[in-house]
Amino acid sequence: MSFNNLDTLYRQVIMDHYKNPRNRGSIEGEHMTVDMNNPTCGDRIQLQLQVEDGKVKDAKFDGEGCSISMSSASMMTQAIKGRPVDEALKMSDIFSNMMQGKEVEEDGIDLGDIEALQGVAKFPARIKCATLAWKAMEKGVDEEKQG
C-alpha cells in the first residue's frame, strides 16, 4: 500500500473514532474519575476507569476537543478494556514513544487503530492532543495504586 493510501486510511480511522466515539459516557457503579485538560488548545477529558483484580474492567470518557484528542480517547479506552493494568501502562509507554517519533517495539501488543495516530508525531503542537487521554489513564492508575 502506498504512503498516500495509508495516510488516507489512517485519516479515515481517526475521523471514524471522532464521529463515532467508542466508550463515550459514564460508568455505573464504583469507578475512579480523572479530569485533565490541555490549556494550550482547550481539549478537556473526563476519564472514568473501573479497575478490578489488576485489570481494567471498564473505561469510558467524556469531554471536548479536537479530532485528534477525542479519537485518541476513543481508541485508548477501546484498547485498554479487559487488559491487565501493567499492559495498559505498557501500551501508554509505546504510544508515548510513537508520539516522540521513536522506533517502537510493540512487544507482542497489538495497537490496533492506535497506529493511525502515528502521523501526529510530525506535528509537535498536536502531540499533547493525542496523549491527553493516555496521561489521564496513567494518572488514574497511579492514584489507584497509591490509594
Domain boundaries, position 72: 3-146
Q: Which of 92, 78, 71, 80 is nearest to 139 (CA)?
A: 92
Render pLDDT for 72-93 as a digit per residue (tens, 0 to 9): 999 999 999 999 999 999 999 9
Which one of 5-9, 44-48, 51-55, 103-107 scores highest in mean pLDDT?
44-48
DSSP 147: -
Number of domains in the chain: 1
CB proximity list for 80: less than 8 A, separation 6 or greater: 56, 59, 87, 88, 91, 137
Residue 117: predicted pLDDT = 95
Domain at 14, CATH number: 3.90.1010.10
The predicted model scores a pTM of 0.93
